[in-house]
């Protein structure tokens, strides 16, 4: 059972986490949701399309202009508070690696801290424990925040992913984070080249077998683009194919830009797996 905020999600219930970037330089939307009203409209649309979690980020993952903790806080805290007010049933997540930002967004009502840089600030887990919120424990290959991988190698990439994420997860629980609110994430593209990201996808069932709920963040990423030689705006089909494979192998939470399309893929896979009845069943019955 996965418990985040006031929501509980069963083991065969796929969960969509919609991305809302509060940045002027996002790789995907180039700042389309930097201002409050477009961002709130994005949240409303995502929830209507089936997102259970809204993931709010104030700093883009890649290199770029410096964003101080104060500026990241300014971009996220008021928005978290407003999303919490307007959408009381949604799980509010914040993508940050900084403990001081985590503290501020938890005070504003966040339910989940999405630590995509794999414990770069070890105090973030302590913040999650203090507020009783969830934590995403991600493998970033030891990369520093906002850096790209450079000639990174692993003897066995999945062995490293498991060692790091399970260590972060157990540390979080030891600090007091509720066990049922901790997720692990293989960290596609983070500290990995394209072949590494493909391998961790292929071997995702090894993460699922640990018993921790697995979150995957696949949406329009570089490994999809390089695999198919497609620019950012032409990566949806590759993303959905990777989503289907991840769903079949047992991933639980999907961090995405395109909610409606992802929901159809997840529902189809769930029905093939026997976890969901068809929405309509008429063919051959009349």
Does the residue 5 lie in any domain?
A: no
In a domain, residue 130? The reply is yes
As averages over each run of 10 residues, the pLDDT of the chain (286 residues) reads 96 97 78 87 97 96 93 96 97 98 98 97 98 98 94 97 98 98 98 98 98 98 98 97 98 98 98 97 89
pLDDT of residue 286: 75
Question: In the prediction, which pLDDT does 33 show?
Answer: 82
Q: Is residue 255 a part of any domain in this protein?
A: yes
**285 lies in some domain:** no
In 14-122, where does DSSP find H-type helix? 36-49, 69-86, 99-108
Residues linked to residue 2 through DSSP beta bridges, in sequence order: 9
DSSP secondary structure, 212-266, as one string: S-BEEE-TT-HHHHHHHT--GGG-HHHHHHHHHHHHHHT--EEEES-HHHHHHHH
Question: What pLDDT does residue 73 have?
Answer: 97
Q: Please report whether residue 252 resides in a domain.
A: yes
Instruction: Name the nearest CA neighbour of 94 among 168, 196, 221, 4.
Output: 4
Give the domain extent around 34: 13-273
Q: How many CB atoms lie within 10 A of CB 279?
A: 7
- How many independent structural domains does the chain possess? 1
Is residue 7 in a domain? Answer: no
Residue 132 in domain = yes
Q: What share of the chain is helix, strand, coil (3-state, %, to 5)?
A: 45, 15, 40
Identify the pLDDT of residue 30: 65
Q: Is residue 115 part of a domain?
A: yes
**218: exposed, middle or buried (Cβ count in 10 Å: 0-12, 13-18, 19+):** buried
CATH number at residue 148: 3.20.20.20
Return d(Cα 52, Cα 7) in angstroms, integer: 9
Active site residues: 221, 255
Local structure of residue 153 (DSSP, 8 states): -
């Amino acid at each position: 059972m996965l418990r985040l905020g006031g929501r509980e999600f069963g083991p065969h219930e796929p969960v969509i986490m919609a991305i809302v970037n509060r940045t002027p330089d996002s790789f995907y939307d180039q700042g389309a949701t930097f201002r409050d009203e477009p961002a709130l409209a994005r949240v409303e649309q995502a929830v209507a399309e089936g997102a259970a979690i809204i993931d709010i980020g104030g700093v883009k993952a890649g290199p770029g202009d410096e964003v101080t903790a104060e500026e990241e806080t300014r971009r996220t805290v008021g928005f978290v508070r407003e999303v919490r007010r307007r959408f009381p049933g949604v799980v509010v997540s914040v993508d940050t690696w900084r403990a001081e930002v985590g503290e501020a967004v938890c005070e504003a009502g966040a339910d989940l801290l999405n630590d995509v840089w794999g414990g770069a600030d070890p105090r973030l887990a302590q913040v999650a424990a203090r507020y009783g919120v969830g934590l995403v424990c991600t493998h970033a290959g030891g990369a520093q925040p906002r850096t790209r991988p450079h000639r990174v190698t692993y003897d066995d990439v999945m062995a490293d992913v498991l060692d790091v994420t399970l260590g972060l997860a157990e540390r979080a629980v030891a600090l007091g984070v509720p066990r049922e609110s901790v997720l692990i994430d293989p960290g596609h593209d983070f500290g990995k080249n394209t072949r590494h990201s493909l391998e961790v996808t292929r071997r995702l069932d090894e993460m699922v077998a640990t018993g921790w709920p697995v979150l995957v963040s696949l949406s329009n990423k570089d490994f999809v683009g390089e695999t198919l030689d497609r620019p950012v705006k032409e990566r949806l089909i590759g993303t959905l194919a990777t989503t289907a494979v991840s769903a079949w192998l047992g991933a639980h939470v999907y961090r995405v830009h395109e909610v409606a399309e992802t929901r159809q893929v997840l529902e189809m896979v769930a029905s093939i797996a026997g976890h969901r009845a068809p929405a309509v069943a008429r063919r051959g019955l009349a």
